[in-house]
Homo-oligomer: A and B are copies of this chain.
Amino acid sequence: MSESKPNSIFADRISQVPQSFIREILKVATQPDVISFAGGLPNGDLFPIDEIKNAANKVLEEKGKEALQYANTEGYLPLREYIAKRYLEKQGLQIDPKNILITTGSQQGLDLLGKILLNENDDVIMEEPGYLGAIQAFSVYRPNLIPVSVDDQGADCDQLRDAINQHNPKLFYTVPNFHNPSGITYCEENRRQVANIVTGTRTLIIEDNPYGDLRFEGEAKSSFYKLAPKNTLLLGSFSKTIVPAFRTGWIVAPDDILEKLIIAKQAADLHSNYFAQRIIHQYLIDNDLDVHIENIIKVYHQQKQIMMNAIKTHFPDNIQHTNPEGGMFIWVTLPEPFSAMDLFNVCIKDKVAFVPGEPFYLNKAIKNTLRLNFSCSNKDSIEIGIKRLSSAINKLIK
């Protein structure tokens, strides 16, 4: 832990936030001619631009004065009602709209939860590998982050039980569906075990589910909110299903936590962009979100299949990878002791990019993994890119 100098103008907390190495990677990855599997963006070709234009015009014509004014901190009630109704219809979850707070992206949900829940040195269990944005958001509040490994079945329950018994942590942060960065999904049995372990403890599961709607294979799994309702907070977002630029996400939390979240949110930005909330609501009542999502799923599924086929054709046999049932990412493991950062340096010369896995670990000793994104590349790019990546792997490991 590096503290600021005593005379520094800066707060100690900012010294602990990891710099986003990924920002630097993405800068390199956007050079011309580079085929990039590095990003984590939804595919802009699928954005419902015309529908959003229609919704924006309707809102401005019918309720312009209201939709452009300051609004309440909680968020637009009809939008929160829509979200509650969708939880009931899609997952059988009973959620009162008053327990939903609209946030500036689900990233703000992470910041607000850290802000109201974490004292310095409080214990938080993080998936390893895990979502870098959550590591960054929580690190501001200087907790003790405890890694628990995830594999293609879900969380390592022995590690989780030990961590909870030893530390009585406040939080366990998880992305159980089409996990970022690994693409894995917790199986039903693993979810039940996790739910059993946390039930009766003070540990709150933060179930972050930005990709859950984007399932193209297999069966939907139970939310922790169903399996361990008293121990689960939900984070959601329209960034992957409608558009990210609107920064419209939400938190589901019980009354006492929501009350504190509202106080913290009011201090943080008064309220999230209200015009965007109104446009999204108008879009949702004038269009069938499920039809739109089906279209996203169809495209992403094709792109994943093309990437999987190219990997099977071109990668050496000793390279492991996940096979996601949805979402946007495949996770690749090189044989030890090869380094994904070394591979990146070869690849960038060969005009293909990915994200080395290192920043996704609290334990930075793991250097042989990498993340591939398939949501933003077309058939040709995927095939050429994976060929280039395979050649680079062969150069490195032979």
Contact = CB atoms under 8 A, between A and B. Distances in A.
A378 B75 CA distance: 28
B267 A139 contact: yes
A125 to B, nearest CB: 15
B69 A44 contact: yes
Give the most central of A64, A110, A202: most B CB within 10 Å.
A64
B70 A13 contact: no
Give the most central of A66, A244, A260: most B CB within 10 Å.
A244
A263 interface: yes
Given A10-B117, A263-B17, A268 B111 contact: yes
5 contacts: A9-B170, A11-B122, A20-B263, A53-B61, A247-B270
Interface of A: 7, 9-14, 17, 19-20, 23, 41-42, 44-45, 47, 49, 52-53, 56-57, 60-61, 64-71, 103-105, 107-108, 110-111, 115-119, 122, 133, 136-137, 139-141, 170, 202, 204, 239, 243-247, 257, 260, 263-264, 266-276
Closest 4 CB pairs of A and B: A49-B64, A245-B274, A68-B243, A44-B65
A269 B108 contact: yes
Contacts of A246: 68, 273, 275
Contacts of A257: 9
